Amino acid sequence: MSVRTVSIAINGATGRMGTTNHLQRALLAIRREGGLALANGDRLVPEPIILGRSVEKLRSLAQSLGIERWSTDLDTALSDPKVDIFFDCSATGGRAVLARRAIAAGKHLYLEKPTAETLEDALAIARAAAKAGLKNGVIQDKVHLPGPRKLALVRDSGFLGELLAARLEFGWWVFDGTLQPCQRPSWNYRRAEGGGLVLDMFQHWRYMIDRLLGEMRAISCRTATLTPRRVDERGNSYGVDVEDAAYATIELQSGAIVEVSSSWCTRVRRDDLMTLQVDGTTGSALAGLHRCWTQSLANTPKPFFNPDEPQSMRFHEQWSEVPDNLPHQNPFRACWESFLRHWAEDAPFVSTLLEGAKGVQLADAAYRSEKERRWIDLAQLSV
């Protein structure tokens, strides 16, 4: 057994996503355990180089996490022949430009979603990386959560039968910053910085629905800006120029219909912040982020509406929970391990930049549907 290192330049490392999910819970966790075990018995140890704009933030983060290398100079990092992989988890706006620079420097490329703000740019970087022979990918973490994994297990068991329809509900109340601080950064609500609920969240819905239920054929969508003014991190009021809610109907290649309701202006009265209910001919399943419940055809009750009496059935009690039989791993770590194995030993890898482009395609189609008030077909994409 030998120990190998992989040098990863992480742009946007001082943000919450970069620090908590990608460094602490993924790359540094792998490093603390002596590296990632490869098929030949070698151990692959990540060596992060953190990049950002603030010297103070970078120095403080590096000291707190025990990271030796940090820099505000992106060009120097990209020109360093010892850097193997460039990873970007900064704000969405400008990600495609950074990706092009990394590809031109010959760096293998891993990106947070969305990979770009437009389908044209997302496809262009996917094709450029493929043409250059570079390993490439996009973070697609939600399928690694316990709830979706249990749903996949239920599906694979044949419990559902033929898929009939599904319903995905997502969201919570994001404060506007007046009564309480906003829980999301202000750039999420500014078009110029890559904000917007559709561009942000429909990336997840694309790969989750494609992998759990089947590939998409078309979408019809309406969007809304329900909170038109917010207060930013500095206490300044600003106008929101992107949507903070979206309501979509998606048709799958099988003909099944998926309803998707997404909102940052809704109060939660369901099992989780996101739930996906799937109805089939022989059973139904409902998955949250961590838990999953099922109801078989044989156990399906016959509710009755009585206008003179409250409903006596307790519908939640009629479902059975899928047990925690599957081992759980942090979803961001699962993403990184999969990509690092792909980089180190050419292991099969699903979440390429082409898959990232499919997420941008769905967002683009949703925006077109809203603007043109019609269904939009989703063409097959290729590099």
Read off the CATH number of the domain in which 322 is found.
3.30.360.10
Is the residue at 251 inside a domain? yes
CB 285 within 8 A of CB 154: yes
State the residue range of the domain holding 79: 3-141+331-352
Is the residue at 243 inside a domain? yes
Q: Do 200 and 311 lie in a common domain?
A: yes
Q: Do 268 and 156 lie in a common domain?
A: yes
Q: What percent of the chain has pLDDT over 90?
A: 99
Is the residue at 343 inside a domain? yes
Q: Do 67 and 128 lie in a common domain?
A: yes
Q: Do 315 and 366 lie in a common domain?
A: yes
Tens-place pLDDT, residues 149-181: 999 999 999 999 999 999 999 999 999 999 999
Q: Do 58 and 81 lie in a common domain?
A: yes
Is the residue at 291 inside a domain? yes
Query: Degrees (nearest 5) of the Cα angle 205, 151, 349?
Result: 60
Is the residue at 28 inside a domain? yes
Q: Do 91 and 120 lie in a common domain?
A: yes
* Region 254-280 average pLDDT: 98
The span from the CA of 305 to the CA of 39, in Å, is 59
The span from the CA of 262 to the CA of 258, in Å, is 13
Integer CA distances (angstroms), 129 to 14, 74, 170, in order: 26, 19, 33
Helix ranges restricted to H, the chain: 16, 28-32, 55-65, 74-79, 95-104, 119-131, 146-156, 197-212, 331-345, 353-372
Token pair in block for residue 138? 């996009």
Tens-place pLDDT, residues 299-334: 999 999 999 999 999 999 999 999 999 999 999 999
CB 339 within 8 A of CB 329: no
Per-range mean pLDDT, top range of 91-100, 123-132, 307-316: 123-132
- Quote the number of domains for the chain: 2
* Region 210-239 average pLDDT: 97
Tens-place pLDDT, residues 44-55: 999 999 999 999
The span from the CA of 375 to the CA of 250, in Å, is 9
- Evaluate if pTM is beyond 0.75: yes
Q: Do 121 and 158 lie in a common domain?
A: no
Is the residue at 381 inside a domain? no
Residue 207: pLDDT band with limits 50, 70, 90? very high
Neighbours of 105 (CB within 10 A): 18
Q: Do 231 and 290 lie in a common domain?
A: yes
Q: Do 48 and 129 lie in a common domain?
A: yes
Residue 1: pLDDT band with limits 50, 70, 90? confident
How far separated are the first and last CA of the chain, in Å rounded? 37
* Cα radius of gyration rounded to whole Å, the chain: 22
Q: Do 151 and 131 lie in a common domain?
A: no
Whichever domain contains 136, its CATH number is 3.40.50.720
The span from the CA of 129 to the CA of 109, in Å, is 8
Closest CA to 219 of 182, 170, 252: 252
Q: What percent of the chain has pLDDT over 70?
A: 100
3-state secondary structure of 275: strand
* Region 34-45 average pLDDT: 97
Q: Do 129 and 152 lie in a common domain?
A: no
Is the residue at 186 inside a domain? yes
Is the residue at 222 inside a domain? yes
Q: Which residues of 278-300 are buried (b: 16+ CB within 10 A; e: fewer)?
A: bbbeebbbbbbbebbbbbeeeee
Q: Do 115 and 166 lie in a common domain?
A: no
CB 199 within 8 A of CB 246: no
